[in-house]
Structure 1
Amino acid sequence: MHQDFIQKKDPYRCLNENKGKFLADFKDVFHNVDQCQKKAEEFTDRCLKPAVEDFVNRSLGPDIIGEMRTSEQFSTRMSFQYSVLLDLLSEDTFEKYQSFISSYENYVKEWILNKILERFSNGSTVFEEQHLQSCVNSMNNAIQKAKTEKSGNIKSFVEVICQELVDKLVISQDALGAFMTLNKADQEQFAHWLTECVTEMAQTLREKFKKTDIQTKLQSLHVNPQDELFNTLIGCGEQCPFCKAPCEAGGTAHTEHFASLHRPQALGRYRWSNTNKLCIDICSSLVNSDISFLCIEREYQSHPYKGYKEMYPDWKIQADASLQASDYWKYVMAKFNDEFAAAYVAKPADIPEAWKEITPEQAEASLKESFLVI
């Protein structure tokens, strides 16, 4: 890092990088040429334009997040989880369910991304336009302020502008330093041309924003909307060590994970050791039993479910033998029993006949009940 700083500030390197510009400036001074228009263009292109683009990119991430949160799907944590599961049910493919269970965070972030792309696929640049116009107004106000200061030279004039913009725009000091050399520009004329250049710059950026698709824009943002929405609506992203149900504690600051609705443990690859058949019992009933599980952390040694906290101290699983899996997961397990068995190198579970009779409509009704959707 220290070497990078030295390299970045090396006078010899800066001189070599800008020697063409320095030579042009020197010729202008030598030939007594006024530099107003040239300097205004240079200041706009090298200093203001990159700063404006950076400001838009810093602002657009929160804008996208805010816009997504206005939709019902992203309004609350429960609405979000309900929407993801409902979408899975509507597609109703084993591959989707397996991806959701085994690669939960990646799947959900990809789902969020697709919703963002869908929402902003119309090419709207309303947010960029708002921030661009805000920058233009600030720059024009700064120019007017600098004119009233009656600065002695362009260097002082530009310093006033930069000071006025410091709370909004991050102007490169390297670019600014290079600009400050050898200028012989009339202040009034410079202000005139700078105002013109700011207008032209705004139009150039406006056209650029319109031509750039949302996927490309997302790559330039300072804040990643996918990650922020995931952290807000999902939280820590941890899953139950047995059934892979996601933690519902919310946020990332909690010290204990929990899930109110556990799933058949087959979804977490658990099977009965004596038959190799997938296990459809749920965690809540198993931790209330005398049954043991083979613990990966202890090289598959047997460990009682009642003592699961010795292995997974960060998880709290409510012990209740009366609890059952929801009809949603019963439906999934019954429909894709053979597929899960093949994927997990196990034998299919013994599925109760009642599970096999659950329809997609009943599974959806169960989902609504679980997430209190009216």
Structure 2
Amino acid sequence: MHQAFRKASDPVIYLGKKRDDYFKTFQTFCQGATTVAIFADFLASKLQTAIHQAVYTKVCLDIADLMQNNCQALNGNREKLEFHILKELAAKQNFQAFQMYINFPKQYFEEFITNSVYSYCKENDNLKTFLNTRLRGFQCLLLKAIATATSKTKDIGGSVVMWLDEFCSQLGGELQLGRQELKAVEHQEIKDIGFLTESVTKALENVVESLSKDFQKTSLKDIEHGMSNIIDILIEQLCGCWEKCPFCNAVCTNTIPGHDGDHSVPFHRPQAVTGTTWYKTNYLVTDICTSLVASDCSIVLSESNKIPYKRYRDAGIPYSQWSITADNSSLKYWQWYVAYFRENLESSYKSKFEGRGNIPDTWTKIKKEEALSEIGKRLTSNS
């Protein structure tokens, strides 16, 4: 608190921050420039920084909006995004990638969105067009602000202070140009507001020309921070609750983080995907949560604490926070996964698909395309 007050009130600190501004004004005086030129040059230097920053910010929003409209994986809801993730995983057929997705879904979703953003931007290189379009937009905004400030100041014979006040107010929140930043030149003795307008307009043209040349050389790497903003925007809009089913790790599909009510998913997975085995065996469980809660099986929390699956909520948090409906609904996708990666799962969890954990013959006959088609049809019917 003391440090913040000192920084805001200490004249030495304030003057230190303004040192470059005052030096630029003094330097221009020494070079013999007119008062109006000093003013225009100073304002232009401030505008160049503000426009540069504002253009990057707007372009990042433009790219995020474009991706949400045109990128297949990102132009829908969380369920559609997950379908594209499952599709990519099936195409790769990489067990470690599946393990990452199953055990660390939030990180995998974010990595998928990040890769999608960079891939889309590389394939659709509209960056320079976006930059110059936004630059021209800000040029129009500034020309209008200059004209309005000039008109109102002339009408009442106002001063440079009034012109600056009106100019900054016309910008609204579009540009990060604080009125306080222009204090160094507000007391200039300028009588000819018309000449001031011409000088500032010319200075603005030079700024726009300079920025336009810079933007022609700009690449995605140059807006790395902006790309992070695009990714953050998409992650926030496409992701929701990240709670995982305590049995199979399926992620809650609620789109609101910290939502009210129970967690739930439309489809659970065979518990073998998380390495769950039948009690006192090394046989992996191929049953799905929704069928187990309808069975006479029990959840074994410890030797002395066994709870029937039908009363799974009695196991306390996190079990009690989930709504698992008793039925036999399942996705062929996860049946295909278990059958296809049988050896990987057995090796990873040092267990076997034997005895009560035998993989049904029907699962081994499921083709990858068939599994993806089922999800795609479900997605279409819900859209």
TM-score (norm 1): 0.86
Aligned to 1:44: 44
Aligned to 1:180: 186
CA positional deviation for 1:29: 6.0
What amino acid is aligned across from residue 112 of structure 2 in structure 1? W
Aligned to 1:364: 372
Could you tell me which runs of 5 or more consecutive residues in structure 2 were left unpaired when the two chains were aligned. Answer: none
Equivalent position to 1:334, from 331, 339, 362: 339
Distance 1:301 1:341 in 2: 27
* Superimposed CA distance per residue, residues 205-251 of structure 1 (whole angstroms, 9 cap, x where no aligned partner): 33434433335425136x83334333433422322221122222333
Distance 2:270 2:126 in 1: 44
Alignment of structure 1 residues 252-291 onto 2, 5 Å: 252=257, 253-291=259-297
Could you tell me which runs of 5 or more consecutive residues in structure 1 were left unpaired when the two chains were aligned. Answer: none
* Superimposed CA distance per residue, residues 243-271 of structure 1 (whole angstroms, 9 cap, x where no aligned partner): 12222233334432211111111223322
Residue 263 of structure 1 aligns to a residue whose secondary structure is coil
Aligned to 1:124: 126
CA positional deviation for 1:318: 0.9
Equivalent position to 1:308, from 295, 304, 312: 312
Aligned to 2:170: 164
**CA, structure 1 residues 32+260, in 2 after alignment: closer, same or farther (shift >3 Å)?**
closer
CA positional deviation for 1:142: 1.0
Distance 1:2 1:57 in 2: 35
Comparing 27-36 with 64-73, greater Cα deviation is found at 27-36
**CA, structure 1 residues 230+315, in 2 after alignment: closer, same or farther (shift >3 Å)?**
farther
CA positional deviation for 1:18: 3.4
Q: Does 1:35 align with 2:35?
A: yes
CA positional deviation for 1:54: 3.6
Alignment of structure 1 residues 1-374 onto 2, 5 Å: 3-19=3-19, 21-23=21-23, 25-26=25-26, 33-46=33-46, 48-71=47-70, 72-77=72-77, 78-121=79-122, 122-125=124-127, 126-148=129-151, 149-150=153-154, 152-180=158-186, 187-214=193-220, 216-220=222-226, 224-252=229-257, 253-295=259-301, 301-309=305-313, 310-311=316-317, 312-320=319-327, 322-323=328-329, 325-348=330-353, 350-372=358-380
Residue 303 of structure 1 aligns to a residue whose secondary structure is strand
Residue 16 of structure 2 aligns to a residue whose secondary structure is helix
CA positional deviation for 1:112: 1.2
Residue 116 of structure 1 aligns to a residue whose secondary structure is helix
Identity %: 26
* Superimposed CA distance per residue, residues 27-83 of structure 1 (whole angstroms, 9 cap, x where no aligned partner): 76699852322321221222x233323433443343233212213433322432222
Aligned CA RMSD, in angstroms, stands at 3.0
What amino acid is aligned across from residue 123 of structure 1 in structure 2? D
CA positional deviation for 1:110: 1.2
**CA, structure 1 residues 256+290, in 2 after alignment: closer, same or farther (shift >3 Å)?**
same
Asked whether the 8 Å contact 1:73–1:83 carries over to 2, the reply is yes
CA positional deviation for 1:93: 1.1
TM-score (norm 2): 0.84
**CA, structure 1 residues 21+83, in 2 after alignment: closer, same or farther (shift >3 Å)?**
closer
CA positional deviation for 1:355: 1.6
Distance 1:216 1:268 in 2: 42
CA positional deviation for 1:172: 3.2
Comparing 299-308 with 285-294, greater Cα deviation is found at 299-308
Distance 1:319 1:272 in 2: 20
Distance 1:59 1:180 in 2: 30
Asked whether the 8 Å contact 1:262–1:282 carries over to 2, the reply is yes
Residue 70 of structure 1 aligns to a residue whose secondary structure is helix
| Residues paired across the two proteins, number | 368
Asked whether the 8 Å contact 2:54–2:175 carries over to 1, the reply is yes
**CA, structure 1 residues 31+362, in 2 after alignment: closer, same or farther (shift >3 Å)?**
closer
Asked whether the 8 Å contact 1:51–1:172 carries over to 2, the reply is no
CA positional deviation for 1:106: 1.2
Distance 1:209 1:236 in 2: 39
**CA, structure 1 residues 206+316, in 2 after alignment: closer, same or farther (shift >3 Å)?**
farther
CA positional deviation for 1:20: 5.5
CA positional deviation for 1:107: 1.0
What amino acid is aligned across from residue 373 of structure 2 in structure 1? A
Distance 1:26 1:305 in 2: 81
What amino acid is aligned across from residue 134 of structure 2 in structure 1? H
